[in-house]
Amino acid sequence: MIDTHCHLTFPQYDADREEVIERVFASGIEWILNACSHLQDLPAMKALAQAYPGRIYLSIGMHPHYAGEVDEDTLAGVRREIESYPYVAIGEVGIDLFRSEIPLEVQEGVFRWFIRLAKEYDLPLVVHSRDAEEETLSILREESPCAGFVVHCFSYGPEVAEQVVEMGGMVSFTANITYKRSDGIRESAKAVPLDRIMLETDAPYLPPQRKRGQRNDPTAVRDVAEAIGRVKGMPVEEVIRVTTANARRFFRVGDGSGATSG
């Protein structure tokens, strides 16, 4: 299994981070993508990846909640980072209109810049989209990320999922697929071909139903795989096999043996 999106450098893990990570890899997780939501997190993210070579990989980006902080100096810094460290993706970047104080035009401008950067450096794109399906899809159509994109923590219905697939994108599901009121997400998982799906946790957020109210961690990718298996009527082992291959191919990361350094 591969957790394609989590945040292990967040303060929720400060008390027991090493213990959590060891438990994660002992559970059968091949590798994880520690996703960047703010550039200030990069030093801690790099240190963590260096401590677990071949097991923890990094993306670089700015969550749309921080789009208002992005200026020319920020963008120049991102370029320097990409040219000096082997990030496997750009993200998480995108549009978030859920109680956001950042004007849409600001978010759109930053999102477009990151998409173009991903194209320039031939890196896949990790997209954050909340309450912004039309805006997100419109920009993706116009900008056409050429190295591929994934809509992470997918929270829309099957109509949006089908449009993502039609554009050549991937769909990534978290453990919110296990929630009682997540029928729309389960319908999306049913509609999307398995070879276009990846697994993630977005940990420390969105624990599975059995752990609601608790801190999440990457072992919950098993819950996501099981939920997808149920809606598709297939063995969880097949879900794990195909989604693992999808993640390796999408992020261009090997088999977790350590041959490809994080």
The structure tokens listed for 179 are: 């929630």
How much is the pLDDT for 254?
81
Residue 33: how many other CB atoms lie within 10 Å: 27
How much is the pLDDT for 259?
35
How much is the pLDDT for 145?
83
Q: Looking at the domain assignment, is residue 262 inside a domain?
A: no
Q: Looking at the domain assignment, is residue 261 inside a domain?
A: no
Rounded distance, CA 172 to CA 243, Å?
10
Low-confidence ranges of the chain (pLDDT < 50): 256-262
Q: Are 142 and 169 in contact (CB under 8 A)?
A: no
Q: Tell me, yes or no, if the pTM score tops 0.85.
A: yes
DSSP reduced 3-state for 30: coil
The conformation of residue 102, written as its DSSP 8-state character, comes to: S
170-173 sheet: strands from edge to edge: 2-6, 31-34, 56-60, 89-96, 125-130, 149-151, 170-173, 197-199
DSSP reduced 3-state for 141: helix
Q: Looking at the domain assignment, is residue 257 inside a domain?
A: no
Q: Looking at the domain assignment, is residue 162 inside a domain?
A: yes
Q: Looking at the domain assignment, is residue 14 inside a domain?
A: yes
CATH code, domain with 132: 3.20.20.140
Helix axes 221-232, 183-191, angle to 10 degrees: 70
Residues paired with residue 173 on neighbouring β-strands, in sequence order: 199
How much is the pLDDT for 257?
43
Cis bond upstream, residue 43 (ω within 30): no
Q: Looking at the domain assignment, is residue 142 inside a domain?
A: yes
Q: How many domains does the chain have?
A: 1
Q: Are 19 and 13 in contact (CB under 8 A)?
A: no
Boundaries of domain holding 79: 2-251
Q: Looking at the domain assignment, is residue 259 inside a domain?
A: no
Rounded distance, CA 126 to CA 194, Å?
18
Rounded distance, CA 50 to CA 57, Å?
9
DSSP reduced 3-state for 185: helix
Instruction: Return the closest-CA partner of residue 3 out of 231, 217, 176.
Output: 217
Q: Looking at the domain assignment, is residue 260 inside a domain?
A: no
How much is the pLDDT for 255?
60
Within a 13 Å sphere around the CA of 257, how many CA atoms are in the beta-carbon half?
A: 3
Instruction: Return the closest-CA partner of residue 94 out of 143, 127, 139, 66.
Output: 127
